[in-house]
Amino acid sequence: MHLTGEEEAILNGEEGETRQQLMEILVGVGKVFGAEEMVPIRSAQVSGASYKTIGEWGLKWLSSLDARAVVPAVLNPVGMDRIRWEEMNIDPAFAQKQLEVIAAYERLGIRLECTCTPYYLNIIEYGDHLAWSESSAVSYANSVIGARTNREGGPSALAAAIIGKTPKYGFHLIENRKPTMHIHVEGGPHESDPAWYGALGFLAGKICGDKVPLFSGIRPGRDQLKNLGAAMAATGAVALYHVHGITPEARIFSYPTEGLEEVIISSEEVESLFTEECVDAVALGCPHCSPDELVHVADLLDGCIVKKPLYIFAARDIIEREADLVRRIEKSGAWVYADTCMVVSPALERYERIMVNSGKALAYVPSMCRAGAVIGTTRECIKAACTS
C-alpha cells in the first residue's frame, strides 16, 4: 500500500500515540482488502455509540484516546434520548455509562448528533468519499446519493474521522459499484408506504447476500429507498443497490443487464409479510424519520389519543427544526425521541410484541429487544397504537 510522507509520519508516531494507533487500524484494514492508497474523506459516521453494544471495554478504549476528528463526524444512535432518558425509564446506572461514552466521543471531536440518518445533516454530496459505519446510512449514501463508502466498523470509522482518510478499496472504486444481480418486482407496489419497501428489502436482502442488486418494476421516492436499503443491509449485507430510472448511478450502468442473475419477487410475497396481530407497543423511525415521515405521522394522529405506547425516533436536528410537528404528534400521547432507537435502547425490552413500519426493525427487534415483531404500514401502526 502506497503511503504519502505525511501518512508515513503519522504511522511512525510523529503526531502522537493515538494518531499512530488509529493509522495502524486504517493501514491494517487497507492491506487486508488490497487498497493501493488512502483517500481523503468528506465525513465520518461512527457506530459503537450505545453502551448496550460496546459495554465497559469499548468505553475504556475510547477514554484512552487523545486526538480530535479533522472532518465532520457524527455518532450512530445511542441507548437513550440524551435529555429525556428518565422519561424513557432508563436505568440510571446504564444512563451514567451511556453519558460517559458520549462524553468520550465529544472529547474526540465527534459532533453529538446521534443518528442513523446523517444524510439529513447536509454533510454529503454525489461522489464524496466517506467513512460511515451504520449499515442503513451506508446503503443510503452509496445508493440514493451516489457517495462512496464501505461499511466501516466503529473503530475504523473513528480512525478515519481523526486521520481524515480511509483506505481506498471496495465501494470507493467505480468498478465495484456495478450491479451484480437483477431483481424484478412483479406486480409493482400496491402501497407507497415506506413499510412496503422495507418488507421488499427484508425479502431481497436474504436473496442478495453482499451482491449489488439492480431493481426494476418499482419507482420509490427517498423515504421508500431509505427503508428498502436499511432492510437489505439487515437481512443481507447489501451496502449498495440501484433502481432503474431512479438512483443516480443506475444510468451509468447499461440496462437491460444481460448476463446478470435474475430474481423475481412478486408483490404478493411482499404483502404476505403484513399480518394483523395484537401488539403491546408500536415503534416508528427505523431508520430515523424524515420531516415528511413526521408530517405523515402527525396527520394520521390528528384528533387521536394513543392507547398503547407509541415511540417515534428521529435525529435531534430534525426534531428541533420540526418542533411544531413534534408537538402535534406528542399531543396524542406518543413520544418523539432523539439520539436513540427501538433497537439500540433497552427501553423497548419490556414489551412482548412490537409493531414496526420498517423491514430492518422487523429483522432486529426479535434478537435485540427479545420481543416479537410485526410489520405494518404507517397507517396500520397508528391504528394499532390508537386501539386498546
* Identity of residue 46: V
- Other CB atoms within a 10 A radius of the CB of residue 55 amount to 12
Inter-helix orientation angle 291-301/378-385, to 10°: 40
β-partners of residue 39 are 166
Which of residues 124 and 286 has its CB atom nearest to ligand F3S in the complex? 286
Which of residues 45 and 216 has its CB atom nearest to ligand F3S in the complex? 45
According to the binding rule CB under 6 A, does residue 136 interact with ligand F3S? yes
Please state, in angstroms and rounded to a whole number, the distance separating the CA atoms of residues 185 and 215.
7
- Whose CA is closest to 170, among 237, 231, 239? 239
Please state, in angstroms and rounded to a whole number, the distance separating the CA atoms of residues 266 and 271.
9
Coil, strand or helix at 260: coil
Contact window for ligand F3S (CB under 6 A) among 59-67, 103-111, 255-263, 286-294: 286-294
The correct pick among 108, 183, 265, 286 for binding ligand F3S (CB under 6 A) is 286
| In the complex, least distance from residue 80 CB atom to ligand F3S, rounded to whole angstroms | 13
According to the binding rule CB under 6 A, does residue 282 interact with ligand F3S? no
Pair 139, 240: CB distance under 8 Å: yes
Q: Which of residues 145-174 bind ligand F3S (CB under 6 A)?
A: none
Which of residues 336 and 341 has its CB atom nearest to ligand F3S in the complex? 341
Interface size with ligand F3S, residues (CB under 6 A): 16
Is the sign of the CA dihedral 364, 365, 366, 369 positive or negative?
positive
Inter-helix orientation angle 291-301/323-330, to 10°: 30
Q: Which residue has the cell 414489551?
A: 351
* Binding mask of the shown chain, residues 301 to 340, with x at each position contacting ligand F3S by CB under 6 A: ------------x---------------------------
Q: Which residue has the cell 424513557?
A: 88
| In the complex, least distance from residue 354 CB atom to ligand F3S, rounded to whole angstroms | 12
**What's the chain's length in residues?**
388
Nearest 10 degrees: Cα torsion 290, 291, 293, 296:
180
* Binding mask of the shown chain, residues 47 to 86, with x at each position contacting ligand F3S by CB under 6 A: -----------------------------xx---------
According to the binding rule CB under 6 A, does residue 205 interact with ligand F3S? no
Please state, in angstroms and rounded to a whole number, the distance separating the CA atoms of residues 174 and 370.
40
Which of residues 22 and 368 has its CB atom nearest to ligand F3S in the complex? 368
Which of residues 21 and 53 has its CB atom nearest to ligand F3S in the complex? 53
Which of residues 38 and 343 has its CB atom nearest to ligand F3S in the complex? 343
| In the complex, least distance from residue 287 CB atom to ligand F3S, rounded to whole angstroms | 4
User: Strand runs (DSSP E) across 165-319, as ranges?
Assistant: 165-167, 181-186, 213-216, 242-243, 261-266, 281-284, 310-313
| In the complex, least distance from residue 342 CB atom to ligand F3S, rounded to whole angstroms | 7
Please state, in angstroms and rounded to a whole number, the distance separating the CA atoms of residues 19 and 108.
11
Please state, in angstroms and rounded to a whole number, the distance separating the CA atoms of residues 120 and 102.
21
Pair 143, 252: CB distance under 8 Å: no
| In the complex, least distance from residue 230 CB atom to ligand F3S, rounded to whole angstroms | 5
According to the binding rule CB under 6 A, does residue 343 interact with ligand F3S? yes
The correct pick among 79, 287, 309, 376 for binding ligand F3S (CB under 6 A) is 287
CA 197 to chain centre: 15
* Identity of residue 297: V
According to the binding rule CB under 6 A, does residue 371 interact with ligand F3S? no
According to the binding rule CB under 6 A, does residue 341 interact with ligand F3S? yes
Which of residues 272 and 367 has its CB atom nearest to ligand F3S in the complex? 367
Residue 66 burial by CB count (10 A; 0-12/13-18/19+): exposed, middle or buried?
exposed
Which of residues 155 and 179 has its CB atom nearest to ligand F3S in the complex? 155
According to the binding rule CB under 6 A, does residue 230 interact with ligand F3S? yes
* Binding mask of the shown chain, residues 235 to 274, with x at each position contacting ligand F3S by CB under 6 A: ----------------------------------------
Contact window for ligand F3S (CB under 6 A) among 14-22, 162-170, 280-288, 289-297: 280-288
Give contact residues for ligand F3S (rule: CB under 6 A): 76-77, 116, 134, 136, 230, 286-288, 313, 341, 343-344, 360-361, 364
